[in-house]
Amino acid sequence: MSRTPLARFAQSLASADLNILPQERLSPAQIKTELLSGLTVALALVPEAVAFAFVAGVHPLVGLYAAFLVGLITALIGGRPGMISGATGALAVVMVALVAQHGVEYLFATVVLMGILQMTAGVLGWGKFIRLVPHPVMLGFVNGLAIVIFLAQLTQFQVPGTAEPSGHGASGGEWLPMAQMIPMLVLVALTMAVIWGLPKLTKVVPAPLVGIAVTAAIVIGFGIDVPRVGDLASIKGGLPDFHIPTVPLTFETFEIILPYAVILAAIGLIESLLTLNLVGEMTGQRGGASQECVAQGVANTVTGFFGGMGGCAMIGQSMINVKSGGRTRVAGVASALFLLAFILFGSPLIELIPLAALVGVMFMVVIGTFAWNSLKILTRVPKMDAFVIGLVTVVTVLEDLAVAVVVGVIASALEYAWTNARRISAKTYTTPEGAKVYQVHGPLFFGSADGFIEMFDPEGDPGLVIVDFVDSRVADQSALQAIEAVAGKYEAEGKKIELRHLSRDCHWLLQKSGHLVIEADDDPDYGVAVNYGVRTGIIGGH
């Protein structure tokens, strides 16, 4: 008997290991790499969490607590070791309207409900629908994401407090004076050079961490006047406290938070599952979609009760982790714990780190994330695929990642339906007995139903017509209605029609109409998706 997604999730927790491959054990060298990778990610998380908190209109600690709690829980029980989760800009831009209209307590309640919805999606196994995302959509997604990450870093070249929160990067802020801008650009280039060149010499220490350390040492040692983490906000705080959102427990409250919770849950799951696929391609892992949905839900539910703004998987930080050598749950747990240590004890030191070092790390993430090969294949792939890649990229930059993916999937689905709708055709011949045979080619579904009906000539055909579906497949209720429509026309002419090579489900459904005579013993055994609906009278009018 097959197990439910919840049972599979429980078993995965019971057998959870810190390694990607449970049969292997972590060596001391790998543990060191994982810890250093976690430290690198934690340093990169600080300005991101603070910036996204500003976008959402909440205190910086609300973003930092979310990064810690969501990152820790998903690292422990998520569907893909190596992934990093935390507060993200895509969620923050949705939250800002809620916070502005109703206050931060309603945000906490929304995050709790968001988590419950995500857990429900995981238990029901809905994570598997991420398989429906076509490859051109994935290419456009990563390209758009790289551009969004790049634009988001441009705010670090602006005077703190002058940029309008948009979630997509610089928006009307005042640029740094040249006395700070030039050193900032030089330090960014230095960080990128270290990250690019160090792996050619040694891989003992993650290159991004060395790049941050070298740049920070130069800035602090020489007292160079450039923006630092502390210029954004103080990150000093205590442990997050358990806190039940102080909102009225009324249906009116539910009406306020439900639309936001649904949107946030959908965006969070789409980003998380796409990140899961992307990390899986880099590390050779598969599966885990439903488990990741549950983990994201648990993380957000807990975060809402501890004063965090919620979050989801962060592709930029996940790329930093994977490319720094983080392959197990150790790195994700370490990054969360390092972040908590920064909040509790290390804020004076962390606030001295120049933003240029962290910008340099993120610029290298941009270079590594962008699918440069997609530019080469645009002229070689089908035109519609090239269009989808460009469409998803543009929508990602102008709107957000979730909207872009939905738009890309819809565009791909419409193109697929249109292409298959034009494939319907039929070869005709007459048997020695005088019957006319229509041998149908191509899928019969809602898109090709009209074309199927137009192929027949009820007035001019002989008294017996045979329709052979050996090279076709009946896919949906529209197809069945088209067959019934054709049968009705022949019946009106006083002629007989036989169908061959249909599934048993089609036999039953079509015989219910009373029009058709079906003769075949070698019919295929595939099912019809609308079988339940027709049998129960929901569709088809029976």
What CA–CA distance (Å, rounded) separates 245 from 359?
Answer: 35
What CA–CA distance (Å, rounded) separates 536 from 358?
Answer: 60
Element (H, E) at 21: none
Domain chopping of the chain, boundaries? 30-375, 422-535
CA–CA distances in Å: residue 402 to residues 28, 277, 370, 396, 470? 40, 15, 18, 8, 41
Tokens describing residue 42:
């934690």
Helices (H), 352-498: 355-369, 373-377, 383-398, 401-421, 449-454, 477-492
* pLDDT at position 462: 93
CA dihedral 465, 470, 475, 476 (to 10 degrees): 20
* pLDDT at position 14: 46
Under-50 pLDDT residues of the chain: 1-2, 5, 9, 12-24, 515, 521, 529-542
Among left, alpha and beta (phi > 0; psi -120 to 50; other), residue 246 is beta
What CA–CA distance (Å, rounded) separates 261 from 238?
Answer: 28
316-344 confidence digits (pLDDT tens): 899 899 988 898 999 999 999 999 999 99
**Helix/strand/coil percentages in the chain, nearest 5:** 60, 10, 30
What CA–CA distance (Å, rounded) separates 381 from 374?
Answer: 10
Determine contact, residues 87/311, Cβ cutoff 8 Å: yes
The model's pTM: 0.74
Element (H, E) at 278: helix 251-283
* pLDDT at position 539: 35
* pLDDT at position 514: 56
Beta bridge partners of 473: 443
- Three-state SS string across 465-512, please? EEEEEEEEEECCHHHHHHHHHHHHHHHHCCCEEEEECCCHHHHHHHHC
Which residue shows structure tokens 């390209």?
143
* pLDDT at position 247: 95
The dihedrals phi and psi of 437, each to the nearest 5 degrees, come to -110, 130
Instruction: Please tell me the class of the 422-535 domain.
Output: alpha beta
DSSP per-residue letters across 26-55: --HHHHHHHHHHHHHHHHHHHHHHHHHHHH
- Is residue 149 helix, strand or coil? helix
